[in-house]
Structure 1
């Protein structure tokens, strides 16, 4: 079908800018339109997804700081974004999203955690089909603000990568531990849990144990419960489960009513990408690394330097 006039103008402007290297004034002259129209057309092209801009992941993994962090903590690879006041988390999420397809290959089964960080990564993921990829939701469903629920994160990544999505169709937290066992015995849940435990790669974040912790915001624990476990050494949260400063699992009363991946199944993966940045995340991230949950790390330069400083303290 013939393109309408506006669609043709948008594509013309986009082609001139990104393939011919013309600036906005030159495009305006060539197409006999105003510079303002060029700006609008390029903006519309980005909104429609006609343009995908990504930086070569290698530039974030091959510099000295990235190699130093990888060597210090025994990680396979580290990707480090430049810090930015107020937006480092968004930069790290975008960098991780662009890096992730390079860490995946045909036939992989990628387990996806939950929370704001993983949501940002899934939202920023490029539209890039990866053949025979399966995306698996690692924890049951739990209401979360701003779309951070586990099923949203996994579904968004599956859509962007053209992958088959295996959702875990159970609540993350139930009122009765006996009900947990009954649900886990259901054939369809048995099949879904088998997918959860057999993922060869994962992407996750390690949350804090502070008052703004994701598990407190979603009601998995209340303030009093969290304070009790903090006094016992709780440092980070992975998939709703607590770890201490050395990454050791800290069992909680809540866990017997939870459905989702267990921490022992989060270890020994071909690739486990830990994503996070910011001063509050340093101790939890270090705990996750020490516990052997991560093989790869995506963070910013300020956080990387804080990780090195804390490790040497």
Structure 2
């Protein structure tokens, strides 16, 4: 792009070119909007419109450095409390719960590519949080990356079934995808055992057991939690686990306040990775949204499932207090 000070009319630059020219002058040459308006002989409002159009077309990508979120006091304190390698703490903002959730999702999507390396085997959990992170990921190529579905699928009305979550993450990274071609929960332990013995399923289960990094959220044990609303557990089964000390759900498995597995009626019917296989991986990336999930998040931290956490300041403070 030209960088001299010669004034050029919009008659000489038109259509898509003037949008790119405006973006270059603003972001690369550092001119303010008034200077650009004078340079291009247009109004300042027109410059604003050109910059907005450049953003909408995807010409402009702006990100804050990860250091803005993982080196301040709240992040350092959370890492020290739970022995984490890193925490990415977003400011709460003023947009209410939806705005906070949006920030955490965007933060996780911005941070995730920098945490992955060529040859990684990334295990991906399921749920709305992980689905939303996948939607926000920018297209990035990571060589020889394999994305693996950690738990079987459910016919959920929400659109964020496990196979969709893993497939979307793989698509954004141009990665190989290993999906688990079974339901998350079966009607009997016998059917589940038979399926686990099938060569195709056995190979898929073996593959996901060798993931070296994981991306997950932890659900609550509230009556309206995804584990109940998606049909994985009935309300009676959910209450049975709660009575045994369950405070959270990770990949369809229940954990107590220390992160230890809670046994119950679903265990032998569940198709997916075992909790012990999720512990102490090279990297476990927990995306935690909402005060109602803080007890579950703390349980996951205590249980050794996470090395990295993405959340916001209020949730981080609640995790510190509960811990």
**What TM-score does the superposition give when structure 1 sets the normalisation length?**
0.91
- Greater Cα offset, 107-116 or 155-164: 155-164
Task: Look up the match of 1:277.
Answer: 289
Task: Look up the match of 2:69.
Answer: 60
What CA deviation, in whole Å up to 9, does each residue of 1:84-128 have, x standing for no partner? 232212111111111112211111000011111111211122222
Note the aligned Cα RMSD (angstroms).
2.0
Task: Look up the match of 1:92.
Answer: 104
Task: Look up the match of 1:135.
Answer: 147
The 8 Å contact of residues 89 and 276 in structure 1, kept in 2 or not, is answered as no
Deviation at 1:180, TM superposition (A): 2.0
Task: Look up the match of 2:182.
Answer: 170
Q: 2:17 aligned with 1:8, yes or no? A: yes
Task: Look up the match of 2:270.
Answer: 258
Task: Look up the match of 1:217.
Answer: 229
CA gap of 1:75–1:25, structure 2 versus 1, over 3 A, is same
3-state SS of 1:249 partner: coil
CA gap of 1:107–1:20, structure 2 versus 1, over 3 A, is same
- Greater Cα offset, 82-91 or 235-244: 82-91
Q: 2:247 aligned with 1:235, yes or no? A: yes
- Of 201, 205, 214, the residue aligned with 1:193 is 205
Deviation at 1:5, TM superposition (A): 5.2
Q: State the structure with more CA Rg.
A: 2
The 8 Å contact of residues 241 and 249 in structure 1, kept in 2 or not, is answered as yes
3-state SS of 1:253 partner: coil
- Mapped partners of 2:311, 2:193: distance in 1: 38
The 8 Å contact of residues 141 and 175 in structure 2, kept in 1 or not, is answered as yes
The 8 Å contact of residues 117 and 145 in structure 2, kept in 1 or not, is answered as yes
- Greater Cα offset, 42-51 or 184-193: 42-51
- Mapped partners of 2:183, 2:14: distance in 1: 50
What CA deviation, in whole Å up to 9, does each residue of 1:34-63 have, x standing for no partner? 545444443343333332222111221111
Deviation at 1:271, TM superposition (A): 0.3
Where do 5+ consecutive residues of structure 2 fail to align? 1-12
What CA deviation, in whole Å up to 9, does each residue of 1:13-33 have, x standing for no partner? 322232223344443443344
What CA deviation, in whole Å up to 9, does each residue of 1:141-200 have, x standing for no partner? 112344321122212221222211111122212223332223222322222222211000
Task: Look up the match of 1:286.
Answer: 298
CA gap of 1:173–1:25, structure 2 versus 1, over 3 A, is farther
The 8 Å contact of residues 138 and 172 in structure 2, kept in 1 or not, is answered as yes
Task: Look up the match of 1:73.
Answer: 82
Deviation at 1:245, TM superposition (A): 0.9
Task: Look up the match of 2:8.
Answer: none
Task: Look up the match of 1:48.
Answer: 57
Task: Look up the match of 1:31.
Answer: 40
Q: 2:217 aligned with 1:208, yes or no? A: no
- Greater Cα offset, 233-242 or 120-129: 120-129
**What TM-score does the superposition give when structure 2 sets the normalisation length?**
0.89
- Mapped partners of 1:151, 1:46: distance in 2: 31
Task: Look up the match of 1:82.
Answer: 91
The 8 Å contact of residues 241 and 263 in structure 2, kept in 1 or not, is answered as no
